[in-house]
Amino acid sequence: MMRPSVLAAIRISVTRDAETGAAIDDHLIGLTASDSVEFEQYLVLRQALERLHAASGVSVLAITSATVNEGKTTTAINLAAALARNRQARVLLVDADLRVPSVAIQLGMIDWDGPGLADVLADPGLPLTDAIRRRPTFNLSVLPAGQLRDANPYELFQSTRFGSVVAELRRAYDYVVFDAPPAVPVPDCRLIEACVDGFLIVVAAHHTPRRLLAEALTIVGPEKSLGLVFNRVDAPFRGYYDAYYGYGGYTSRGRARR
Ligand SMILES: Nc1ncnc2c1ncn2[C@@H]1O[C@H](COP(=O)(O)OP(=O)(O)O)[C@@H](O)[C@H]1O
Ligand SMILES: [Mg+2]
């Protein structure tokens, strides 16, 4: 097995109030405490990305991990915020985890029920610009997941529309950061791979089973692996069946997942 390099090790150990899921949570330090020492870890990651951008033209990247709850969304939001710290950079954050979307909720965009990526992919007549929200305070644009309705995410990613949407985003932004689904339990990353320059693979310290990480690395493939991000997740590890097939359910600890 090839060994991708570790680009960053994220250590944040603040706890989150699960009752206030709508609020920007403490781990999104890129948006709430961007002068903190913790945020510097994301600036390190940003630097690694800027080097890849300059050396190999990497501008469209996806964040994945072997399974759920490893910190993909947290990493995607904080990395996008770090890249957007450069006021000259045009940065877009895309929620591509269409089955379990959480970017909009984690960003507190609770009043937003307009179209998102799923809608744009399902309806080629819908302009991308109708689905992109600008967050001027953070110099960040966001393309939420939108509504899947009856659509199948795999088919949406397989459509030629997905390729043309990514091409359009590539022209409009310096960096496009996809919050991707987990690589192992669902097949979406195998399709997303064709359109992105590379993946960052988040590994939850002490959580990600070695076998699943190896599987994720096989799925992503060496030519599309930009590197690993070690992340420390304080939430209890839950199996993907729970998260992917128990939509909106409560965990054994009695908390809403979203
Ligand atoms: N470095 C970290 N330290 C502490 N908690 C974290 C960290 N990264 C993520 N979390 C928390 O762990 C949970 C899962 O993270 P999330 O980014 O939503 O994972 P994923 O997108 O991979 O499912 C969230 O409650 C998040 O706030
Ligand atoms: Mg997520």
Does residue 251 sit within a domain? no
Does residue 255 sit within a domain? no
The residue segments making up the domain with residue 148 are 6-13+23-235
pLDDT at 98 > cutoff 80 = yes
Does residue 58 sit within a domain? yes
Range 210-232 burial, b when 16+ CB lie within 10 A, else e: eebbeebbebbeeebbbbbbbbe
Per-residue pLDDT tens over the stretch 242-255: 455 443 333 333 33
Does residue 190 sit within a domain? yes
- What's residue 79's pLDDT? 94
Cα angle: 124, vertex 129, 134; to 5 degrees: 145
- What's residue 237's pLDDT? 46
Nearest CA to ligand 1 atom 10: 233
- The letter for the amino acid at 103 is V
Ligand 1 neighbourhood includes 59 CB (under 6 angstroms): no
Given its phi and psi angles, is residue 194 left (phi above 0), alpha (psi -120 to 50 degrees) or beta? alpha
pLDDT over 70 for what percent of the chain? 78
- What's residue 22's pLDDT? 40
- What's residue 233's pLDDT? 55
How many domains, the chain? 1
Give dist(CA 67, CA 185) in Å, integer.
7
Helices (H) and strands (E) in the chain, counts: 10, 8
CATH number at residue 88: 3.40.50.300
Per-residue pLDDT tens over the stretch 198-213: 999 999 988 889 999 9
Give dist(CA 105, CA 107) in Å, integer.
5
Q: Which atom of ligand 1 sits closest to the CA of residue 232?
A: 1
Does residue 240 sit within a domain? no
Average pLDDT over residues 50-55: 94
Does residue 253 sit within a domain? no
pLDDT at 257 > cutoff 70 = no
- What's residue 31's pLDDT? 60
Token output for 152 = 């199948």
Does residue 18 sit within a domain? no
Ligand 1 neighbourhood includes 229 CB (under 6 angstroms): no
Report the separation in Å between the CA atom of 74 and the middle of ligand 1, taken as the mean of its atom positions: 6
Model confidence at 24, pLDDT cuts 50, 70, 90, reads very low
- What's residue 198's pLDDT? 97
- What's residue 16's pLDDT? 37
The average confidence (pLDDT) of the chain is 83
Ligand of minimum distance to the alpha carbon of 233: 1
Per-residue pLDDT tens over the stretch 113-127: 899 999 999 999 999
Nearest CA to ligand 1 atom 27: 27
Ligand 1 neighbourhood includes 201 CB (under 6 angstroms): no
Report the separation in Å between the CA atom of 225 and the middle of ligand 2, taken as the mean of its atom positions: 19
Does residue 258 sit within a domain? no
Model confidence at 11, pLDDT cuts 50, 70, 90, reads low
Q: Which atom of ligand 1 sits closest to the CA of residue 68?
A: 23
Per-residue pLDDT tens over the stretch 161-180: 999 999 999 999 999 999 99
- Highest mean pLDDT pick, 4-13, 204-213, 237-246: 204-213
